[in-house]
Every structure is written in C-alpha cells, then in structure tokens.
Amino acid sequence: MAKNGGNSGASPQGSQGLQVRKNSFGARAIRDFKKNYEIYLILLPVVAFYLIFSYAPMGGIAIAFQDWRPGRAMFGAGARWVGLKHFKDFFSSYYFMRVLRNTVTISVSSLIFGFPAPIILALMLNELKSKIYARGVQTIVYLPHFISMVVLCGMIKLFVRDTGVITQVLSIFGFQPQNMLLNPNLFVPIYVVSNIWSGVGWGSIIYLAALTSVDQQLYEAAEIDGAGKWKQTIHITLPCIVPTIIIQFIMRTGQILSVGQEKIILLYNETIYDTADVISSFVYRKGLLENDWSYSTAVGLFNSVINFALVSVVNKISSTVSETSLW
C-alpha cells in the first residue's frame, strides 16, 4: 500500500482554531459593524452623550471623601482625604431625618396615587370607539407635559393662592381661602396632584402601546362566553400588560429618593421647609448656595446608592415572583 505523502491540508485542530477566531466576539462585532454601520453611526451621539455627561463625571465622586475646594487637586499629592467624615456629618445632622422623611413621603405618595393614573387613563382611552375623539383627548392630556417647569410652577402658584381658581372652588365646600403654598400640610398634596396632572398623559403612552399588542381574539372569545367590559379588563387586558406594569414599577421604585429639585425649589419657601425640603433641594443649597462641594457630593452619593439598592431588591423580588425583571 502506498503511504500518504505530506499533509494535504490543515489539521482538524487548526481548522477548529480558525473557526473559533471567526466566531469570536470581536470578529462578529466587526462583521456586524460593516453590515449595519449606518445604525452604529446613528447610535454614536447617544453613546457619546452618556459617556460625557453620565460616566465621565462619576470620577467626581471622589470629592465626597475629600475636603475639596475649586482649584484644589482631586487626585495625587494635593488631595485632602477625609474618609467618611461628610457622611457622618450628614447622618448626625438635624437635616438628615427631615429631608429623608420628606423625600420618602413625597415619593411614596406619588407612587401610590401617581403610578396607577397613567394605567387607568390608558385603559379608558383604549375603550373609546371614536378615533377622532380619542386623539383629541390624548392631545389635551399630553399638553401639560410640554409646558416649561418654570411656567408650570407659576401656574400652580396662581391656582393655589388665596384668590386662585382652585382655592375658590374649594371654598365652596367650606375650605378657608388661603395661600395653600404657605401651609406646610398642603405642600405634599399640591406636589402630587400637580405631578399627576402634568405627567399622566405622557405616562400613558407606553401602556397604550402595550395595549395594542393584546390579541383581539381573546376579547371575541370572552364576549362569546358572556364576559362584559369589566371582566374583560380584569381577566384579559390587565394580565396582558402586567409585564409592562412590573418593569415600570421597578424603574419607578429606583427613584424613591430622587424627587427632582427643580419643582421643589420653584414652589417651596421658608415657611414650608419642614415638609418641602428634600434630599435634592438640600444638595442644591449645600453645593451651589453654600459652596460646600464635598458635603453635597456625599449626600448625593448616599442618595444614589440607596436608589440602586432599592432597584436591585425590587428587581430580585419581581424575578422571583413573576419571572419579569430588568435583568
């Protein structure tokens, strides 16, 4: 028998190695980029935005552990590290319990009363038969979202002053006319109700989109079985959009301690600090008005860590109970 000569081709091991290199993540990424480079170019500004304005500033977290002033080095020999001093000062200060209590009160109240509002509005809009009327209603409820925050807060101040429209309407039911923004007990209701008014229309968009994916054959089968609109909503509509509701709830829970300072600062005054001052407005005062940069950064970092922990816990519970989660 004639013996085979030299190697007639690559060895199986070499072919496997070449195949692995072709299927590596880098090789697949390059092939995908060449195929869809237009999409990557469109994505580039978004990536650049988050890198510049979200990730790059994270290096400034270091000043929460320093006694830092403008012009002083943040790293290196010139940095003055103080460890957890600013965190301890915040936890032991008079303001800690006040701003934490107010932040949780406002955020939880907004969650309880504000979170279901877009869902209810979306369900109501979904039941409208006239498309023209539905679009008109949608336009009206969307408009407050596009009003400038400064203008919006100016309108709220006009509505709730002692001669305002809301105050006068409430006086018919026995409410004593007064500037409601000077009453500490009324700030949270004003904040929550105005948030619902300005955001319910915009917030309903995602639920309206989810409702379009519900199989219409399910409603037809339910009608044949004699189910009315209420039973169809309970047994078909809501279960079909539950994953969307859960995802939105998880994301909203992660903002428990992130009450925006813009609206608070535009509405509050010294007479209602006890109920209106929140973590974000406290950070604004300490950092920009009192120039205590390190202290305000420490408070902001505490806020972010708690929010991340809340998101992680709620996401874990959701994945365990309903198998729906962010990750």
DSSP 244-266: HHHHHHHHHHTTTT---HHHHHH
Q: Could you write out the DSSP letters of every residue in 126-137? A: HT---HHHHHHH
- Report the C-alpha gap between 58 and 264 in whole angstroms: 25
Say yes or no: 24 and 89 in one domain: no
What is the structure's pLDDT at 196?
A: 93
pTM beyond 0.85, yes or no: no
Q: Could you write out the DSSP letters of every residue in 194-256? A: HHHHHHHHHHTHHHHHHHTTS-HHHHHHHHHTT--HHHHIIIIIHHHHHHHHHHHHHHHHTTT
Say yes or no: 182 and 215 in one domain: yes
Say yes or no: 58 and 172 in one domain: no
Above 70 in pLDDT, residue 14?
A: no
pLDDT in tens, 169-200: 988 888 888 888 888 899 999 999 999 999 99
- Which residue pairs, CB below 8 angstroms and at least 24 apart, start in 155-162? 156/190, 156/194, 156/267, 157/181, 157/267, 160/186, 160/190
CB 207 within 8 A of CB 128: no
What is the structure's pLDDT at 35?
A: 86
Say yes or no: 162 and 49 in one domain: no
Say yes or no: 9 and 141 in one domain: no
Say yes or no: 167 and 215 in one domain: yes
Q: Which of 34, 65, 96 is the last residue of a domain?
A: 65
What is the structure's pLDDT at 1?
A: 45
Say yes or no: 41 and 91 in one domain: no
Has residue 259 been placed in a domain?
Answer: yes
Say yes or no: 202 and 267 in one domain: yes
CB 263 within 8 A of CB 317: no
Has residue 144 been placed in a domain?
Answer: yes
Say yes or no: 143 and 274 in one domain: yes
Q: 59 is in which domain, residue-wise?
A: 2-65
Say yes or no: 218 and 279 in one domain: yes
User: How many domains does the chain contain in total?
Assistant: 2
Has residue 147 been placed in a domain?
Answer: yes
- Report the C-alpha gap between 30 and 40 in whole angstroms: 11
pLDDT in tens, 2-13: 445 445 555 555
Mean pLDDT of 268-286: 87
Say yes or no: 223 and 263 in one domain: yes
Which CATH number belongs to the domain containing residue 272 in this structure? 1.10.3720.10
**Residue 66 bridge partners (DSSP):** 81
Burial (CB < 10 A; 0-12, 13-18, 19+), residue 199, is middle
Has residue 71 been placed in a domain?
Answer: no
